[in-house]
A and B are shown apart, each in its own frame.
Chain A
Amino acid sequence: MNEHDDTYEIETPDELRGIESALDRLGVAERASAPRGLEARVHRGIRGADDATSRPLPMHRRRTSARVAARLTALAALVAVVGGAWVALLSTNHAPPPSDTGVRLVSLEQSVDDLLALEALLDEMASVDTTAAQDEADEIDTMIGSPWDMIEKLDAAMGEEAI
C-alpha cells in the first residue's frame, strides 16, 4: 500500500500490489529529482507575479533602444554628407579653369540643397510621432501578457478552473 491520505482507501488486490509499489517508488524518485532551489525560485516567482508594474518595461526598453539607434544612424549619415560637401568645397579652391566655375558653383549649390533636404528628412524621421502606434502596441502587450496569461484567460472563460 502507499502513503496516500485517503478516506476511501481500498485494499489493492495482491496481484497488483507489486505494480502499485513500483509506481509509488517512481513518484518518490520524480519528486526527489526536483532541482535544488526549486522552492526558493517558485517563491520568488510568486512575489514577482504580484508586481504588475514590471510588465511594460521590456516594451519601453525596445522603444528606447530603437530611438537611440535611429538617431545614431541619422548622425552618421549627416556627418558623411557634410564631409562630402566639405571635400567638394575644398576642391573648388584649387585653380579651376574660369570656364568651369559657373558649373561647379551650380553643382555645389545643388549639393548644399541636397544636404539641407536630407537633413530635414532625417530630422523628420527622428522626430516622427510614434506615440499612437506605441500606445497600441502597449495595449496589445498588456492584453496578451504572456502565453500563460492568455491560456489562463481562456481557461477562465471556459470555466475549466472554476472553483
Chain B
Amino acid sequence: MEPALRMADSPSEVPEGELSALIRAAGEGDERAWARLVDLYARRVFALARSRRLSAEMAEEITQSVFATIATKLTGGDYTEQGRFESWLFRVAMNRIRDEMRRRKRQATPTDPGSFALDAAPEADTSLAGAEEFDRLRAAMDELSDADREIVELRHHAQLSFKQIAGLLEEPMGTLLARHHRALKKLRDIIGRLDAGKGGDEDERKADAS
C-alpha cells in the first residue's frame, strides 16, 4: 500500500479525543471542523456506495445526502458524542445505500433484463492484472448474501474496525468475526470456481481450435 494512501485512508490517524473535539466544533458550525470531517470520511462513504457498483454520480449523491443528514443532526443537537460517531455515520450511509438498491430492484422489470445492469466500476489500478483481480472480486461479491456482503464492505471499503461493525450491525463480536471469516471463505471459493470455469472455457476453445 502506498504511504500517501495510508495517510489519507487510515482512520487511526485521528485519536478518539481529537475526533470528539472535531464533532463538537462541527456541531457548533465550525467550518474547519466540517472540512476535516469531510476529508476523513467522504471517500469512505463514496467507496461504500461504489462497492455496490453504483455510478460515480449516484455514489456522490449518496455521500452528499449522508453528510447533509449528519450536519442537520449535529447542528440541531440531535447527536450526543459517545464515541460512536463512525458507527452512526456509516449506519446512515448503509441505510441510504440499501434504499437506493431497493429502489433499483423495484424499478427493474423481468421483461427488461438491461435494467438490472449496474454501472461499471472505474479502475483506479490501471494495470491489467489489477483490473482483472478487481473484476473477479466484484463478481464474487455479487454472489454473497447481503448480510455477508455488508460486513466485507464495511470492513474493507469503509475501513471500520470489527468493534465498530459489531456496534453498527448490533451483533456480538464473536458472531461478527465468524461471519467475516465465513464471507472470506465464500469469496475464495467463488473466485476458485470462477477461475475453474474460465480455465474450462479456455480449454474448450483450445480443443475447438485444434
Interface size on B, residues (CB 8 A): 71
**Docked-complex contact B67 and A16, CB < 8 angstroms:** no
How many angstroms from the CA of A29 to the CA of B9 in the assembled complex? 11
How many angstroms from the CA of A163 to the CA of B50 in the assembled complex? 26
How many angstroms from the CA of A39 to the CA of B11 in the assembled complex? 16
A83 interface contact, C-beta 8 A: no
Residues on B with C-beta less than 8 A from A38 are 42-43, 46, 60, 63
A129 interface contact, C-beta 8 A: no
How many angstroms from the CA of A32 to the CA of B7 in the assembled complex? 13
B115 interface contact, C-beta 8 A: no
Our pick among B46, B51, B68 for the contact of A49 (Cβ within 8 Å) is B68
**Docked-complex contact A33 and B122, CB < 8 angstroms:** yes
Our pick among B6, B38, B130, B161 for the contact of A39 (Cβ within 8 Å) is B38
Interface size on A, residues (CB 8 A): 48
**Docked-complex contact A16 and B185, CB < 8 angstroms:** yes
**Docked-complex contact B137 and A22, CB < 8 angstroms:** yes
B25 interface contact, C-beta 8 A: no
**Docked-complex contact A19 and B121, CB < 8 angstroms:** no
**Docked-complex contact A19 and B188, CB < 8 angstroms:** yes
**Docked-complex contact B137 and A10, CB < 8 angstroms:** no
**Docked-complex contact B188 and A33, CB < 8 angstroms:** no
Secondary structure at chain A's binding surface: helix, strand, loop or mixed? helix
B:1-44 near A, CB below 8 Å: 1, 5-6, 8-12, 31, 34-35, 38-39, 42-44
**Docked-complex contact B124 and A50, CB < 8 angstroms:** no
**Docked-complex contact A163 and B185, CB < 8 angstroms:** no
How many angstroms from the CA of A157 to the CA of B34 in the assembled complex? 27
Our pick among A13, A28, A34, A163 for the contact of B78 (Cβ within 8 Å) is A163
The interface bits of chain A over 1-33 (1 if a CB of B lies within 8 angstroms of the residue's CB, else 0) are 011111111101101101110111111111111
**Docked-complex contact B75 and A50, CB < 8 angstroms:** yes
Residues on A with C-beta less than 8 A from B12 are 3-5
Q: Which residue of A lies closest to B80 (CB)?
A: A163
The interface bits of chain A over 135-155 (1 if a CB of B lies within 8 angstroms of the residue's CB, else 0) are 000000000000010011001
A60 interface contact, C-beta 8 A: no
Our pick among B9, B34, B78, B163 for the contact of A6 (Cβ within 8 Å) is B163
**Docked-complex contact B133 and A28, CB < 8 angstroms:** no
Residues on A with C-beta less than 8 A from B160 are 4
Residues on A with C-beta less than 8 A from B8 are 31
Our pick among A9, A28, A46 for the contact of B1 (Cβ within 8 Å) is A28
A61 interface contact, C-beta 8 A: no
Q: How far is the CB of B2 from chain A (nearest CB, A)?
A: 8
12 inter-chain pairs at a CB distance below 8 angstroms, sorted by A residue, are: A8-B162, A22-B133, A23-B137, A29-B123, A33-B50, A34-B56, A34-B59, A45-B64, A46-B67, A151-B99, A161-B88, A161-B92
Which residue numbers of A lie inside 8 Å of B, CB to CB? Answer: 2-10, 12-13, 15-16, 18-20, 22-35, 38-39, 41-43, 45-50, 148, 151-152, 155, 160-161, 163
Known: A23-B187, A38-B43. 12 other contacts (CB 8 A): A4-B160, A4-B162, A5-B11, A19-B188, A22-B133, A24-B156, A27-B51, A31-B157, A43-B34, A46-B67, A163-B73, A163-B78
